[in-house]
Amino acid sequence: MSARILVRVQKEIFDAAAEAANLTDGRTDIGALVTFMGLCRDEGGALAALEIEHYPGMAEEEIRRVAREAAARWPLEGIAAIHRFGLIRPGESIVLVVTASGHRDEAFAAASFLMDYLKTEAPFWKKKHLVSGTGDWVAAKAEDEAAARKWRSSSRSRSSERDSAA
Amino acid sequence: MRALYFAWVRERIGKTEEELAPPEDVKTVGELMGWLSSQGENYAAAFAQIKTMRAALDRTHVKHDALIGSAREIAFFPPMTGG
């Protein structure tokens, strides 16, 4: 299985529909396309902007590594993952994950896996700039770590069960 | 060896990157953090929560007991908060 993998780390706003179309254009074998987009919340009006710092080079490499792992776990036709850095205003997009496969279960699972791993393994750090003028680094959440950890034990066995049941 | 610092580690040290020449008995990532934290108040502040600190050798995540070996680039940063 060789899924097409597209990874980008960029300052600019991306076009989610165009990235999704890029995976399906000219294809007749894709039955499921899952698009996840993470947006910047205003925290009830308190947040002026998020500043996202990244480790150039390693950020791309880590996302690509996670995407390859997703492609090895599920029968995917395509993966697109884009992460922004720099100053991001409330309402703007931060991250995009698109997965394409023959059937929806794989596409949903792979998109969820990609997001869980991206949050804990890809070298990005968010700093909050508040309307009040102060700001601080976002602390890593224990539940994000737990969400990534659950895939280590469960995923492979579940996907092989599904394969044999089909 | 080139050291890179990110997020609040970078802010506390006050540098984005620098060349390091640790003593020869510094073999592991954890030992390097221990040595760095003795290099001044700013480093001590950056490495105060040493257990939660993350590191990468030549752009690959490593644990604190990893041998530095011939790595050219080491990065120190807090747990990641992307996505």
Report d(CA A124, CA A159) in Å as an integer: 30
Q: Looking up tokens 């600190």, which residue turns up?
A: B53
Q: How many angstroms separate the CA of residue B12 from the nearest CA in chain A?
A: 12
Element (H, E) at A164: helix A142-165
What's the confidence (pLDDT) of residue A55? 98
* Alpha carbon distance, N-terminus to C-terminus of chain A: 18
- Is the Cβ of A159 closer than 8 Å to some Cβ of chain B? no
What's the confidence (pLDDT) of residue A163? 44
**Structural fold of domain A4-157:** Aldehyde Oxidoreductase; domain 3 (3.90.1170)
Per residue in A59-93, pLDDT tens? Answer: 999 999 999 999 999 999 999 999 999 999 999 99
Residue of A1 and B62 predicted with greater confidence: B62
- Taking the domains of chain A in order of start, what are their residue ranges? 4-157
Q: And the tokens for B66?
A: 């990893």
- Is the Cβ of B51 closer than 8 Å to some Cβ of chain A? no
Q: Where are the alpha helices (DSSP H) in chain B?
A: 7-13, 29-36, 41-46
Identify the structural domains of chain B with CATH numbers, from first to last.
2-77 (3.10.20.30)
Looking only at the bridges linking them, the beta strands covering A124-130 and A47-54 are antiparallel
Per residue in B15-59, pLDDT tens? Answer: 999 999 999 999 999 999 999 999 999 999 999 999 999 999 999
